[in-house]
Amino acid sequence: MSARKKITLSEEEIRFMIEESTDGEESTDGEEEIQDESDSSTCSSENEDEFSSSDDENVLPSDWTRKGKSKLPFTFRGDSGVKFIIIDKENPMEYFAKFFDEVIDYLVTETNRYAGEFLDENGDRLSSQSRVNRWYDTDACEMKLFVGLLILQGIDSKLENSMYFTSRESIATPFYRKVMSGRRFDLLQKFLHLVDNATITDGPGRKTAKIKPFTDLILKKFRENYIPRKNISIDESLMGWKGNLSWVQYIPAKRKKFGIKFFELCESSTGYIWNFCIYSGKNTTFLDKYKNLPVTSRVVMSLMDPLLGKGYCLYTDNFYTSPTLADMLVDNETETVGTLRLTRKDVPAFIKNAKLKKGETVAAFRNKSMVLKWKDKKDVCVLSTLHDDSMKIVKSRRGHEKSKPKAIEDYNNNMGGVDLSDNLMVHFSTARNRLKKYYKKVFRHMLDMCLLNAFITYKMLGGKFPRREFTLRLAERMVSTYARRNKDAIRRPTRLVAKPSRLFERHFPEYCPPTEKKQKPLRKCALCRKNGKRKETSYWCKECDVGLCAAPCFKEWHTQE
């Protein structure tokens, strides 16, 4: 037996070792946290073992072999599919209701509670003209109407919320003002709340206390309404947020580089979001039975826990994949395929050190696991419990044929579940960049997730409409079903805005229409009022909806800018 000798590491390997946390699996490829929560910047003894190798690169550890036999995959026993019954399969409201109806009742309770607490604490300091004095408790009907308008705003995107309710003709969308006044909409946005503040206490979950009851309720509906098919994937997703929050992450590879990080488990083929957890640093909540595992293994095992033992095949990237994690998943009758960092513990030394030419492969086998290294433009290493080292002829985008390991081809086809859901949610998103409270951004992000999952189940049950039509029909149905005229609904604007079309359309003076009280009513002349005069007239312009003196005001109104 040859003696162990000291290994010389490259600058890149040393830098990676320093960035790794003590468990050797916590840093993200291409990711950098804003707040460094690592207690140590040096490698522990476990890290040293992970990066150590044999004196002779051709010597294998006793449990790895160069040749392996094909392993039969685990029998899939997941009861996959949609778990609810729909009466009208072309009615988008029925699908969305399965995910959000219970949430609506929760939002009504917490919003009314928070508004009451705010008025009790600040009532003495509010001016008599404050809009808050006009608050009255909301109900499920109005909250659904509010959510319907949010969904519609995701399709009809404008820079500011006030632009949806303006009467300025060039940008006006009268539909919104017919459904709900801008003042009431703003009050619902202001007092929208996701938790009873009295229940928030200091402790491990303090960072996410304002959103956890709400996200737990959403997560429950995701799991109840659909069971994913065999191929699933786990990856990170980033909800854009640049506010002052201690657990904001910076990920350069993402479209929005700053934000709140979600660990998500999605179905590979559709992007259905089945499980997720929100990263909040050391206080991130995982299942207690996995507390002794490295962080990345805790993420995977906590998200996978309800699906273990059912023959699922999990795809992960090199942030999560390790031989130790693969062994744990195999013990729970779960296959795994993922790219692998060569610096992971238990990776054979000869795999790490092998110098390959383009197209060549080298593999090692242990029990049901295989580690394979393949040279393409650069070295690619993959771990699989489902494949052997066989190759497959594939066509590139330009039609060229080349040989590629089957494990890598399957990984490319099934790893993109989380990316697929992220790409779909970008379109028609209700989230806005300028929200001042992070929990309101989380609320809108959860709403987007519900809309996506509702659409996926709609397509599963044979729906024919594309996503834009599905979303638009959902918003229209919600508004038409729950819209109601009340004292706060439609109101003439307090500030008169002249319509640009008055200068080029054909407008004619008419007598003011009779009302219930008067047969010949009078109106204030708009032009006189604009000039600081108070004058009433019996004439008006129907198209401009303003009172005008017959002469000379009517002519001047329609000819002068």
- pLDDT tens column, 431-470: 887 788 999 999 999 999 999 999 999 999 999 999 999 9
User: What size, in residues, is the chain?
Assistant: 561
Q: What is the mean pLDDT of residues 198-220?
A: 88
Lowest mean pLDDT: which of 31-35, 67-71, 182-186?
Answer: 31-35
pLDDT over 90 (residue 322): yes
Q: Is the per-residue pLDDT at 26 higher than 60?
A: no
User: Quick one: pLDDT band at residue 486, thresholds 50, 70, 90?
Assistant: very low
The residue with greater pLDDT, 505 or 559, is: 559
pLDDT tens-digit series, residues 125-137: 888 888 898 899 9
Give pLDDT, residue 117. 93
Is residue 185 scored above 60 in pLDDT? yes
% residues pLDDT > 70 (the chain): 85
Whether 517 and 416 map to the same domain: the answer is: no
Q: How far is CA 107 from the centre of its chain?
A: 19
pLDDT at 25 over 80: no
CA geometry: angle 496, 498, 501, nearest 5 deg: 155
Q: What are the tokens at 189?
A: 């946005």
24 near 50, Cβ under 8 Å? yes
Stronger pLDDT, 296 or 68, i.e. the higher one: 296
The stretch 331-350 carries a mean pLDDT of 92
Least confident residue range of 179-193, 391-405, 492-506: 492-506
Q: Determine the Cα–Cα distance for residues 55 and 2; give it in Å rounded to an integer.
A: 7
Q: Percent of the chain scored above 90 by pLDDT? A: 48
Beta strands 231-240; 226-227: pairing state: unpaired
Residues 6+ apart with CB under 8 A from 180: 145, 146, 149, 483, 488, 489
Query: How many Å apart are CA 443 and CA 195, to the nearest integer?
Result: 12
> 519 or 100: which carries more pLDDT confidence?
100
123 in a structural domain: no
pLDDT exceeds cutoff 60 at 61: no
Q: Which residues of 509-520 are buried (b: 16+ CB within 10 A; e: fewer)?
A: beebeeeeeeee
391 and 529 housed in the same domain: no
User: Considering the domain boundaries, does residue 489 fall inside one?
Assistant: no
Q: Which of 421, 440, 470 is the last residue of a domain?
A: 421
The answer to the question of residue 218 being in a domain is: no
Residue 408's closest CA among 479, 318, 285? 318
Q: Are residues 264 and 371 in the same domain?
A: yes
pLDDT band at 499 (very low <50, low <70, confident <90, very high): low
pLDDT at residue 21 tops 50 = no
Last residue of a domain, one of 361, 387, 421: 421
Contact 237, 303 (CB under 8 A): no
Q: Is pLDDT of 502 > 70?
A: no
Distance, in Å, from the CA atom of 446 to the CA atom of 454, rounded to the nearest integer, reads 12
**Token pair of 480 as six digits:** 């038409």
Q: Is the pLDDT of residue 138 over 90?
A: yes
* Backbone angle region of 364, left / alpha / beta, with phi > 0 → left and psi within -120 to 50 → alpha: beta
Residue 266 reports pLDDT greater than 50: yes
Count the domains in the chain.
3
Note down the domain range covering 542. 500-557
Residue 23 tokens, joined: 């468990």
Min mean pLDDT across 32-46, 167-181, 500-514, 530-544 is at: 32-46
Number of Cβ within a 10 Å radius of residue 340 = 24
Asked if 115 contacts 123 with a C-beta cutoff of 8 angstroms, the reply is no
**546 and 415 part of one domain:** no
Instruction: Using the 3D structure, point to which of 369, 400, 421 is the last residue of a domain.
Output: 421
Residues 276 and 364 in one domain: yes
Check pLDDT > 80 for residue 2.
no
- pLDDT for res 325: 95
Q: Is residue 248 part of a domain?
A: yes
Please tell me whether residues 390 and 300 are part of one structural domain: yes
Q: What is the mean pLDDT of the chain?
A: 84
- Which residue bears the tokens 């393949």? 374
Residue 444 is inside which H or E element, if any? helix 438-460
